[in-house]
Structure 1
């Protein structure tokens, strides 16, 4: 589990805003999405592309994952975005409007042709009805190393627009989308990140939605303002009680008298090997956050 990276807080930053890109170096987000798509007006696309790629090459972002969101493949900016992003070598490239695995195969081939660094992964936006309906096949593309697929990112605003679903507390209209994407990601070993919370000044609502996403099994949440980062970081990190319990489980299975056992009793509860595996992951996440 040495390759686990915390992805509790994934902050969108507008690629056309030089001040925001500079400020991002000091924000405690686990990952930054430097956006060339929704946050950038058509007339500013080219300047934003140059600015974002220069920021990635310049570095100074510490351990934060850097992700460039390019414009969608069907747009006139995609080819230049992909080529520039490949040359800048971020941690990942985020593809909008992925509705089929064929898109991932095609982009993977393009990146190979562009001699993109092997470390540059692909994150896929799940933000259309077709993407939800075909989510398992999209996630399964990760089994082909050439696609570089590493993460699914829910685009709940676009899904709401396309389906006419309403945003309500508890997100009942969206739960089937969230769980479908989560199951697809888990089935094929890719992380899954929840969509954004739109109310900037509603900390209680943000916390409730983060807690819901955490309880469903998401790795973290996409965010639209630096002020949301601390809440996401706190909610998606193991708390002290959870970490203490995880360490106790691992330690119990390590005792000589429990060697080879598939299940043991600990503090009056039955604990199985699968719980030990979950506990080791909890510890690894906590250590990665501390690091």
Structure 2
């Protein structure tokens, strides 16, 4: 659990906006997705690539994880994006609209050939019906792949569905990706919330994502960072209960007891494993100050 990395808030930043890339160094987001795809017009692709490359090389982002979303490998810009970013030491390269394992395999090979270190992993956008149906195959294809990112806006469009408060049209897709991600040990991040004025709705969406099992949420505006950080961080009560479980279980083991009761509740290995995860996440967050 010592290697746990908080990804409560993962903020998209447009690569063509130099001021935004600079401002990101001061935001309390756990991770930043420097975007070359949706947020960049075709005539600004090269400018954005150069600006993101310079930002990654310059650094100064502190604990913030740096992910670069490139254009699709089937576009005129995708492979050039990957080759430009691969050797610079970004934490990950995010592949848009992944629909099959071959896309991930091709990107992994290109990363190796471009001189990427083992530190630079691959993340995959899950945002099309075909990609969702192949989630397990995609999750299993490469050790370079470490994270699924839900692209719920594109998915809603492709499904001819609606954005609703409870997101019932999304639950099948979210569930399939959660199952595949957890089965193969991936981080998985919830999709964005588009209505910046609806603060209460955003918080409810974060709470729902947490309850479903997501590690954090992708964001479209700095104002969403603090609420996401709050929801996806363990509460003081959770932390205290988790520490109590861990201590009681260790004491019972030392005494050779097979059954552990804490405040009248039966505690098993699965509870201890989850408690350790909660404490490790809390400690990692606290270490950031």
Deviations 1:208-249 (A, max 9, x none): 000000001100000000000000000000000111100000
Q: 1:263 to 1:198 in 2, by over 3 A?
A: farther
Q: CA deviation at 1:140?
A: 1.1
Q: CA RMSD in A?
A: 1.1
Match of 1:73 in 2: 73
- Distance in 1, matches of 2:263 and 2:190, equals 34
Residue 48 of structure 2 corresponds to residue 87 of structure 1? no
Match of 2:276 in 1: 280
Residue 241 of structure 2 corresponds to residue 239 of structure 1? no
Q: CA deviation at 1:265?
A: 1.1
- Distance in 2, matches of 1:257 and 1:221, equals 38
Q: 1:259 to 1:108 in 2, by over 3 A?
A: farther
- Distance in 2, matches of 1:122 and 1:262, equals 42
**Structure 2 stretches of 5 or more lacking a match?**
none
Match of 1:209 in 2: 205
Aligned-partner SS, 1:255: helix
Q: CA deviation at 1:271?
A: 1.0
Match of 1:163 in 2: 159
Deviations 1:95-154 (A, max 9, x none): 00110111111111111111111110000000110011110111112xx43xx1010000
**Structure 1 stretches of 5 or more lacking a match?**
none
Deviations 1:254-291 (A, max 9, x none): 11566555541110111111100100000000000011
Deviations 1:68-90 (A, max 9, x none): 00001111001110101112220
Residue 102 of structure 2 corresponds to residue 102 of structure 1? yes
Runs of 4+ in 1 over 6 A off after TM superposition: none
Match of 1:38 in 2: 38
CA contact (8 A) 1:263 1:273 kept: no
Say which is worse superposed, 262-271 or 155-164, in terms of deviation. 262-271
Q: CA deviation at 1:161?
A: 1.0
CA contact (8 A) 1:139 1:190 kept: yes
Residue 47 of structure 2 corresponds to residue 47 of structure 1? yes
Match of 2:264 in 1: 268
Residue 216 of structure 2 corresponds to residue 220 of structure 1? yes
CA contact (8 A) 2:15 2:40 kept: yes
- Distance in 2, matches of 1:33 and 1:72, equals 15
Report the TM-score when normalising by structure 1: 0.97
CA contact (8 A) 1:258 1:264 kept: no
Deviations 1:6-59 (A, max 9, x none): 000000000000000000000000000000000001000000000001001100
- Distance in 2, matches of 1:53 and 1:17, equals 13
CA contact (8 A) 1:54 1:88 kept: no
CA contact (8 A) 1:253 1:259 kept: no
Match of 1:7 in 2: 7
